[in-house]
């Protein structure tokens, strides 16, 4: 059996507001095996970035808290780790590419200095050694003339080059897990394809695991081994990339797939968007969180939140359409209590 590197179990992340604690994620479970790429997909506002910041325990700096659940990384529960321990793990064993890569680079330092800084901090390298390694890393991420580029400032490089630099910084310490939050959204389509190719190549070479966050099912199709579909703070469906694309079950997943150009869905490949919009946190409807937007909503959907039903092996979907299927083992306790 594949070895688990990251195992998030029933994690709830909340923000304290004047109306009390509001949940941005609701008991979510996600697992990433060693060497695997898991894509977390969902519309804007579904809680993807909150999830990644919680894994890194950076959510506290954004005013959030991990209210319940575990974040096991190689067996260690990060949800219970001290910030001092987290500082050692961040950028060393777990690296993150943030949603806005341009702002991740510091305009007043050369790219070489910024890569070398990470190496000095985590690996105790001398300035000379670190600069040499920075040049090697620029080569690794496919930057031509690295000896020249290493001395340049971010504003002297294109958006695609800057993104390669951000990846080089993330890889500087050879992380076991790379969390990439929409790493290609700001880039044009050709550069986007190059960066995705680069990530795939680096993963094969370095053997790291990747948690890739994207709102784009097309990107997930190219990159993922497994896909977790997030809606309004919950994982509503999860499965291998083949299962999700060949047998999408939750109506939300079906809607996301139908919004990919060229996808042959129920509506014969016609491009459409999911009607309505995602509710803001703290304002979930009663019953299934997707029911006001769902074309299949039934009475039970408006009154009772569905557990996850096993629509196939290793493929749960939280939707009452599948109530004849067995409930996911993890969810049984809650159903009994309900
Ligand atoms: N610091 C914060 N305080 C209060 N609410 C927040 C905070 N950060 C995020 N939220 C809320 O949590 C929800 C999830 O936000 P998140 O940024 O995780 O979405 P996302 O899935 O990453 O969206 P996008 O695709 O736009 O990046 C949103 O409703 C957002 O308004
Ligand atoms: Mg985000």
Distances (CA, A) of 283 to 102, 240, 304, 338: 33, 31, 16, 21
Ligand nearest to the backbone CA of 214: 1
Encode 26-43: b = buried (16+ Cβ within 10 Å), e = exposed: bbbbbbbbebbbbbbbbb
Q: Which of 11, 12, 49, 100 to mutate to test the pocket of ligand 1 (most atoms within 8 A of CB)?
A: 49
Residue 45 Cα to ligand 1 middle (Å): 5
Name the nearest CA neighbour of 11 among 27, 30, 22, 24: 27
20-75 pLDDT tens trace: 899 999 999 999 999 999 999 999 999 999 999 999 999 999 999 999 999 999 99
- Residue 222's contacts (CB-CB under 8 Å, 6 or more residues apart) are 196
Burial class (CB in 10 A: 0-12, 13-18, 19+), 219: buried
Residue 269 is predicted with a pLDDT of 47
Atom of ligand 1 at shortest distance to CA of 215? Answer: 25
Helix (H, G, I), strand (E, B) or coil at 33: strand
Q: Using CA atoms, how far apart are residues 221 and 225, in angstroms rounded to an integer?
A: 9
**For the chain, which residues score pLDDT lower than 50?**
266-267, 269, 336-338
Does this model's pTM top 0.85? yes
Residue 338 is predicted with a pLDDT of 46
Residue 146 Cα to ligand 2 middle (Å): 31
Q: Which of 46, 67, 215 to mutate to test the pocket of ligand 1 (most atoms within 8 A of CB)?
A: 46
136-168 pLDDT tens trace: 999 888 899 999 999 999 999 988 889 889 989
Helices (H), 79-158: 83-89, 101-104, 111-123, 127-140, 146-149
């Amino acid at each position: 059996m594949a070895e688990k590197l990251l195992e998030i179990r029933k994690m709830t992340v909340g923000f304290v507001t004047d109306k009390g604690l509001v949940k941005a994620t609701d008991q979510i479970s996600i697992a990433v095996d060693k060497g695997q790429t898991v894509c977390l997909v969902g519309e804007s506002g579904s809680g993807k970035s909150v999830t990644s910041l919680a894994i890194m325990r950076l959510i506290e700096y954004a005013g959030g808290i991990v209210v319940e659940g575990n974040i096991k990384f190689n067996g260690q529960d990060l949800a219970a780790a001290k910030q001092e321990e987290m500082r050692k793990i961040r950028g060393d064993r777990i690296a993150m590419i943030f949603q806005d890569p341009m702002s991740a680079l510091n305009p007043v330092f050369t790219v070489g200095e910024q890569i070398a800084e990470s190496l000095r901090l985590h690996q105790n390298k001398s300035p000379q050694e670190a600069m040499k390694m920075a040049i090697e890393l620029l080569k690794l991420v496919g930057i031509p003339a690295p000896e020249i580029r290493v001395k340049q400032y971010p504003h002297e490089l294109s958006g695609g080059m800057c993104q390669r630099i951000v990846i080089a910084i993330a890889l500087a310490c050879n992380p076991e897990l790379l969390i990439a939050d929409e790493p290609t959204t700001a880039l044009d389509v050709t550069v986007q394809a190059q960066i995705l190719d680069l990530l795939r190549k680096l993963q094969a070479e370095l053997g790291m695991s990747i948690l890739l966050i994207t709102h784009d099912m097309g990107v997930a199709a190219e990159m993922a081994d497994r896909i977790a579909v997030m809606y309004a703070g919950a994982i509503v469906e999860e499965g291998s990339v083949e299962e999700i694309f060949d047998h999408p079950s939750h109506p939300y997943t079906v809607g996301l797939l139908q919004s990919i150009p060229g996808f042959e869905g129920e509506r014969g490949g016609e491009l459409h968007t999911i009607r309505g919009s995602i509710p803001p946190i703290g304002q979930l409807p009663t019953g299934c969180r997707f029911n006001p937007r769902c074309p299949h909503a039934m009475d039970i959907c408006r009154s009772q939140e569905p557990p996850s039903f096993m629509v196939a092996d290793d493929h749960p979907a939280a939707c009452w359409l599948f109530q004849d299927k067995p409930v996911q083992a993890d969810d049984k306790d809650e159903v009994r209590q309900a």
